[in-house]
């Protein structure tokens, strides 16, 4: 048995036995998320919840004054930002802020892997947002959120790899472990965070996720995953390319380069700026 197969077996046993610790959302963010998720919450309620996290407020104000959302007058107060952005965008920003806190960068052997996965998630989110906005009637903020959480299952696996360091476990083997197991863990994490079914569906794969004749969030994110890889790690892109039928549902040419899609270029650029705020 080679090192990759042996380690993969250890990880699967740890998952089955509950030996991997799943990440929890920070308490402050969890409280804010519950308010934002409440359909009866008023702007004043959301504003009061947000001010408990000054760094999140600063990020929201930066986003609302970014090219994607700004108006002729600069917005200086969080309640104005809520009115301008709407609950869906605020919710996406709350979750993306949580992702930044949860994905604390490892300082050991997994640091390069983390940086690659984090960059990939941000690029996926930006592309997902742009495709939903330009090509479908789906909510682009939900698509952005789906892209952000797509790789969340990698976090406990990275921690496990760090703890069980083995010089024979190279990046290629580690990435295979992540690819094989991240959907299972991602589903568990999002269910524990009480995410909606549509977002949970995004992290699931194969026969485990629902499909339909019309494009859904999972279709968008799967294509965004492929396009993000062509930008970040082209050597891995072909193995992640979705079925031609997924591209057709979105009205895309499966052989076209995303860089040639002018209708997406500006939206992707603005989404990247929002996520990097």
Distance (Å, whole) CA 246 – CA 44: 41
Q: pLDDT at position 150, please?
A: 92
Report the chain (277 residues): mean pLDDT per 10 consecutive residues.
66 73 81 88 91 90 85 88 88 82 66 82 92 92 90 82 62 77 87 87 66 85 93 82 90 88 86 78
Beta carbons of 95 and 148 less than 8 angstroms apart: yes
What's the helix, strand, coil split of the chain in %, to 5?
Answer: 70, 0, 30
Closest C-alpha to 105, from 123, 119, 92 = 119
Beta carbons of 121 and 158 less than 8 angstroms apart: no
Torsional sign, CA 245, 250, 251, 257: negative
Q: pLDDT at position 169, please?
A: 65
Beta carbons of 125 and 275 less than 8 angstroms apart: yes
Q: pLDDT at position 3, please?
A: 63
Beta carbons of 50 and 56 less than 8 angstroms apart: yes
| CATH match of 3-25+105-275 with 1.10.3210.10 | yes
Cα–Cα distances in angstroms (integers) from residue 29 to residues 61, 101, 102, 182, in the given order? 17, 10, 11, 23
pLDDT of 142-169, one tens digit each?
Answer: 899 899 899 998 888 877 776 565 556 6
Query: Could you tell me the residue ranges of all domains in the chain?
Result: 3-25+105-275
Q: pLDDT at position 67, please?
A: 80
Can you count the helices (H) and strands (E) in the chain? 15, 0
**Residue 17 Cα to chain centre, angstroms:** 26
């Amino acid at each position: 048995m080679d090192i990759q197969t042996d380690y993969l077996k250890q990880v699967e046993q740890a998952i089955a036995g509950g030996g991997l610790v799943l990440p929890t959302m920070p308490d402050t963010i969890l409280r804010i998320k519950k308010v934002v998720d409440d359909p009866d919450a008023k702007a004043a309620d959301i504003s009061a919840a947000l001010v408990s996290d000054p760094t999140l407020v600063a990020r929201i104000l930066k986003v609302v004054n970014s090219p994607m959302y700004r108006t002729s007058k600069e917005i200086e107060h969080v309640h104005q930002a809520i009115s301008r952005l709407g609950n869906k965008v605020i919710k996406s920003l709350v979750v993306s802020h949580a992702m930044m806190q949860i994905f604390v960068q490892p300082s050991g052997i997994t640091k390069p892997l983390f940086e690659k996965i984090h960059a990939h998630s941000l690029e996926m989110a930006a592309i997902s947002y742009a495709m939903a906005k330009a090509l479908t009637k789906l909510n682009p903020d939900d698509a952005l959120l789906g892209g952000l959480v797509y790789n969340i299952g990698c976090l406990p696996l990275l921690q496990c790899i760090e703890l069980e360091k083995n010089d024979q476990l190279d990046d290629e083997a580690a990435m295979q472990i992540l690819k094989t197991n991240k959907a299972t863990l991602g589903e568990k994490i999002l269910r524990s965070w009480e995410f909606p079914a549509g977002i949970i569906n995004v992290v699931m794969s194969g026969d485990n996720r629902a499909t339909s004749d019309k494009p859904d969030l999972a279709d968008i994110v799967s294509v965004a995953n492929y396009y993000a890889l062509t930008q970040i790690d082209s050597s891995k892109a072909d193995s992640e390319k979705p079925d031609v039928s997924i591209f057709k549902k979105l009205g895309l040419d499966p052989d076209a380069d995303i860089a040639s899609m002018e209708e997406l270029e500006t939206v992707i650029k603005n989404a990247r700026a929002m996520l990097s705020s």
